[in-house]
Structures are given as C-alpha cells and as structure tokens.
Structure 1
Amino acid sequence: MNTDLLHQLERVEQLATASKLLRLLRAPGRYLYAIGFRLLRYRATKKGVMKQAATFFGTPMMVVLPAGTDIYLTGGKSHDSEIRLARFLIQRLQPGDVFADVGAHFGYFSLLAARLVGPKGQVVAFEASATTHAVLAQNVAASAVVQAHHCAVSDQQETISFYEFPILYNEFNSLDVTQFEDEKWFKEFKPTKITVPAVTLDAFFASPSPVPAVLKIDVEGAELKVIRGAAKLLERAAPAVVLEYLEPKRHNTGHQQAAALLRELGYQSHRIGADGQLIVCADLDAYLQAEQIDSDNFVFVK
C-alpha cells in the first residue's frame, strides 16, 4: 500500500475542509492570486490563465484558472467524491497495470495513475475537448507511461459533434448540452460546437492490446454510449469500472441505463467509503438522496 501517498492525500482533504483563513495562511500568495483572479480579472475578461500546480503525489501539472483552483490551492481535486476516488485508486492500482481515463480533463487522475502503475504500466487518456486536450497533452508530455488521445469515446467509430463551455464550466463539456438548459449559468456561458472523432473501447483495446485493470468514465451524460462500445471488453477482461453518477433531478436517465447495462454484464455496484474501500450499494439513486448529494463516483466490479 502507498502509505505515503495516502498520508499526503489526507493533507489535501484537510485543506479542502479547512476555513478560508487556514487556506490563506497555508499559501497566501497562491490563495490571494487565485481568488483575486476569479473575482476581478476573470469576471472582466471571461478568459482563464494557465498556472502550474504541485500535486500531492509529486507530479507537477498545469491547470487553467479558475477551473483548476482546487488543484492549484490544495494539490488535489478537493471534492469529497474525488478524494475518495483517489484513495480507491491508490489502493487498487498496482505496478504494471493499465488505467483507462475516459474524460480525462487536464489529466489529474491520469497523472496519479501513472505514478501508481509505474514504468511498466500504461495510462490511456481520452479527452474530446480540443482546448482541454491541449492542457492534458502538455501535462503528460514528459511521461512515457501516458498516451493522451484527442477523441470522444462512444458506441460507434465516427465523427461526432461535441460542445465546449468557457473555462469556468468546462468540466461540463459534453455531447449533449440540453441537460444544462435549466441551470442559471447556462444562459450566460454558451457552449461552442466542434467536431471530433469517436472511438469505441472495444476497438481500441482489441486483442492482443493490454486491457485496463480500471476504467474511469466521466463524460457528462454519454456514459451509456461508452459502456455499449465497451461491452466485449467488459465481458472479456472485467476491469473495475468507475462511473460518475448523477441524482435523478439532474437528468440521470443515461446514468441509470449505463448502470443497468453494467449489471446485465455481470457487474455489481459499490460506493467508495471514506477509507477508499468498496461498499456494496445496490440502489444508487436512493443512496444519493439519503446522503443529500447530487452526484458521486461509484465502482462496478464483477
């Protein structure tokens, strides 16, 4: 077990839950810059700025503020679900493993996985957004372990339309933006339409290619398409599947269908405990409602 990494991740969690004063005292220069940038410069220009962040696992990475503020200030993605996911990956991934990151964004989990799988492992990162992929590619350029692909992942190999939001909301980049039309920010921050190639995981990881031990999917509503296009891989190799899942109020029909298909393929759903261990969780919607949270990362394993 990577005890030192788990200890460093605890520091991220402590900062994430600390008061603004404590975060200010920990890194006053960074804190004042990040908050000042968002409140003043970004509000006036709507343009981000690229800054280097020191991650808790020791790999420097570039982020674009204000979207990457949490990594810039704490060294990690600071939402509770992301901290628990990091704990799970630290304990699950082994040297030599393959990790597939579908919806890699700036590459935070790809870089963490590269540290965990080591020089004999492999990380395959997929990012459909052109602007986000440019940051991802820069972050993994020095790693011989990570391959960064500018494409979407779907159930067919074709050219598709994809929508990119301005930097503050670019984690919502997706194939379908109608799910966000009721959000207050959507009226002001309209997406840009681009076209990108789409691949299927069945084709990408066709035999004799090494297959992933863990497959992470964070694709803002396209989860069912990803799973459909990976059905043969899931039956053949049975990787653990990490799926971001939304509550019903956030138009989660696609998430429900993806979870149902995974169960048809022999998978059982789990939530990630505070210690990073898996806990069987059969009813994902009921769990989210009971915890009063709008999303979480769930892990499906055979």
Structure 2
Amino acid sequence: MEGACPGRIMTARRTDMEQTAREALLERLGKQAALYGAPLDVRLRRLPFRIFWPRALNVAGMTWRVTARTFFGRDMRVHLPDLVGKEIYQYGFFEEGLTRAIIDKLPAGGTFIDIGAYVGYYSLLASLLVGAEGRVVAFEPTPRTRAELSLNTSGFGNVQVVPLAAWDQPARLTLRDFGWRQSSFNSVLAPRVDGNPRCESIEVEAVAVDDWLLAHNIVPSFIKIDAESAEHRVLQGLRRTIEKHHPILSLEIGDYNLPGVPRSADLIRSLIAMGYDAWQYRGDTFVEHHVVDHYGFDNLIFTPRRQSVQTAAA
C-alpha cells in the first residue's frame, strides 16, 4: 500500500481501557516470543523441565497429557510431544504472527469463527478478546481433539463447539486421525506427515460454513482457517459470507504437491480479486504481501481493501 509504513494491522477504535489491555497482551506475547527465539542454552536454563520432557517423550514414543498456561492467563489441556501442545506448554503461545493479528483485529463484542479449532488455543484467546457480548464458534470434526476443545472451553459461555468439518457443501467425509503424537496433521486429504504413520479412518459430517452461518444468523468479524490443505474447499463454502460481510480472514498456506489441491498462490489471488489486501508477519511487524510462485508453511492475514496498516511498530 503506497505511502503506508509497516506495522500493526489497523485496529478498530477502542476505549482506552480496552487498548491498554490489548497492549499488555502484546507485551506479554513479545516476552514469550523472545524466549522462544533464544539460544537453546538460555531456554534450558529458564525452562529445563519443559524443554527436556517433550524431547524425552518423543524419544520414548510416548504421549502425555498436561495442563499448559497460556500467555494470556488461561489454562488448557494439551498432549505432548504434539507440536502445537509442546509450544503452548513451553512458551504459552503458538504462531506469534497469527496470535498478534487476532489481538490487533478481533473487536470486543465481535464474532470469531475458528475453522480447525483443534484443542482450542485460538478459541480461548478469542473468547477473552470478544468478551461476554461477543461470540466464538469453533469447528472441529475430529472426536478426540474435539473432546479436549470442549473441555478447554467449557467454562466460557461465549464459545460454541461445532462437531462438523468445514467444506464446500454438505457431505460425509473420511478423516485420517493420526493419534495424539501427530494429531495436528489430521486431515480429510492426503497426509502431510513424514513416513507412513498409523492412522484411524473416521467418518465425519461436513457443512458449507455459508449455510451454517446463515441458518444461525451469525455475521463473523474474523474467520481463522486452518484446514490441513483443504482451505480451498473451505473458502468455496464461505464465498457468500466473504462477499457480503467482508470479515477479516486468516489463511494457512503451504504447497505440498497434494493431488487435487490448488497452489496457495491461486487462493491468495482469489481473495485479492474479492477486494482483500494480504499481509504477512515478518521481522516483528506486518508487511503487505506480494504473491510468489511457491509457499512453505505460513499464515497470511486478509483485510478488506478499505482498511490500512497502522504506522506504529508492533
């Protein structure tokens, strides 16, 4: 965006108290992110057991259920040595850039749609941010992870867990569940895990999120999409909502040469054509994203074109 300085994505107007609370969350996240990026010897001195224990479990081929304290002060149950659970257990957060975007962009009283909610890290954060007048809708089709999601969010009345997969139409799908060690890779598409791990095939119900939101009279403020390479199907099932309401979007991207899965660049261009700007988190700040040919793993943020970038550094 010509003339704009990189920084945080522009936030809606807030009261001084709300803004102070958000800034405090960002400061706490920054401290934990600095520890995450510190040399191993520093992390071992600060968190010896938390660093060692997941590694030992991984070597032993075991899993362990623990309670983790998030940087925003809420406890949640996770499983080690699963990647998502391990990082939350060790550092209290997962995916700094996406976490910052949600803190910056999700308004108090808003509605957060968590597609691929897993065990609830983003749903818990969003529950805190939207407050009692807001709403969180968490889609999670895998029974074992949904049980933990429901437990982690059970004390918060503004969170609704939906036992459905997000898709482009109503369907019954076969989902691969890789167990707790690799449960963050559960998918209805070809597996993205190395080797040939054991998995359980589970039949799950799917829905076009457009239809579900319309049936429940819900207008989203922010939609987080993490569908393990099925993002193109999810976006097709959200087209009416996107065109009518223009919510903030986050989209997990990555090109893994899976059959029938379009390139991430095609998805990004389709959202840009629908009136969005794309942003990426780089070097402790958000910068406007320019489409490239091939993508590794990342999350991009999409804002309606009428919004701009705040000049203050994150």
- TM-score calculated relative to the size of structure 2: 0.83
Which amino acid in structure 2 is aligned with residue 266 of structure 1? G
Describe the superposition over 1:114-138 as per-residue Cα deviations: whole angstroms up to 9, x where unpaired.
1111111111111121111111111
Distance 1:248 1:166, change over 3 A: closer
Which amino acid in structure 1 is aligned with residue 71 of structure 2? F
Match of 2:32 in 1: 12
Structure 1 Cα separation of the partners of residues 285 and 104 of structure 2: 7
Deviation at 1:154, TM superposition (A): 0.3
Contact in 1 for aligned 2:69/2:76 (Cα 8 Å): yes
Summarize the alignment of residues 26-65 of structure 1 with structure 2, pairs less than 5 Å apart: 26-40=46-60, 43=61, 47-65=62-80
Distance 1:218 1:284, change over 3 A: farther
Match of 2:128 in 1: 115
Q: How many residues align?
A: 281
Deviation at 1:167, TM superposition (A): 2.1
Distance 1:128 1:257, change over 3 A: farther
Structure 1 Cα separation of the partners of residues 262 and 113 of structure 2: 24
Report the 3-state secondary structure (helix = DSSP H, G, I; strand = E; otherwise coil) of the residue aligned with 1:285: coil
Structure 2 Cα separation of the partners of residues 233 and 168 of structure 1: 35
Deviation at 1:30, TM superposition (A): 3.0
Partner residue of 1:297 out of 296, 299, 302: 299
Report the 3-state secondary structure (helix = DSSP H, G, I; strand = E; otherwise coil) of the residue aligned with 1:253: coil
Q: Which runs of 5+ in 1 are unaligned?
A: 289-293
Match of 1:163 in 2: 176
Question: What RMSD in Å do the two structures reach over aligned CA positions?
Answer: 2.1
Contact in 2 for aligned 1:245/1:295 (Cα 8 Å): yes
Distance 1:283 1:104, change over 3 A: same
Which amino acid in structure 2 is aligned with residue 267 of structure 1? Y
Structure 2 Cα separation of the partners of residues 219 and 91 of structure 1: 23
The question of 1:70 aligning with 2:87 is answered yes
Structure 2 Cα separation of the partners of residues 191 and 268 of structure 1: 38
Match of 1:86 in 2: 99
Which amino acid in structure 2 is aligned with residue 231 of structure 1? R
Contact in 1 for aligned 2:255/2:263 (Cα 8 Å): no
Summarize the alignment of residues 182-221 of structure 1 with structure 2, pairs less than 5 Å apart: 185-187=194-196, 189-206=197-214, 209-221=217-229
Tell which has more relative contact order, 1 or 2 (C-alpha 8 A, sep 6+): 2
Partner residue of 1:233 out of 233, 241, 245: 241
Structure 1 Cα separation of the partners of residues 132 and 248 of structure 2: 21
Distance 1:135 1:285, change over 3 A: farther
The question of 1:126 aligning with 2:143 is answered no
Match of 1:266 in 2: 275
Identity %: 31
- TM-score calculated relative to the size of structure 1: 0.86
Describe the superposition over 1:181-215 as per-residue Cα deviations: whole angstroms up to 9, x where unpaired.
xx6x332x132210111111111111772311111
Q: Which runs of 5+ in 2 are unaligned?
A: 1-18, 305-314
Structure 2 Cα separation of the partners of residues 93 and 115 of structure 1: 10
Which amino acid in structure 1 is aligned with residue 57 of structure 2? F
Match of 2:187 in 1: 174
Contact in 1 for aligned 2:189/2:229 (Cα 8 Å): yes
Contact in 1 for aligned 2:190/2:258 (Cα 8 Å): no
Structure 2 Cα separation of the partners of residues 88 and 248 of structure 1: 25
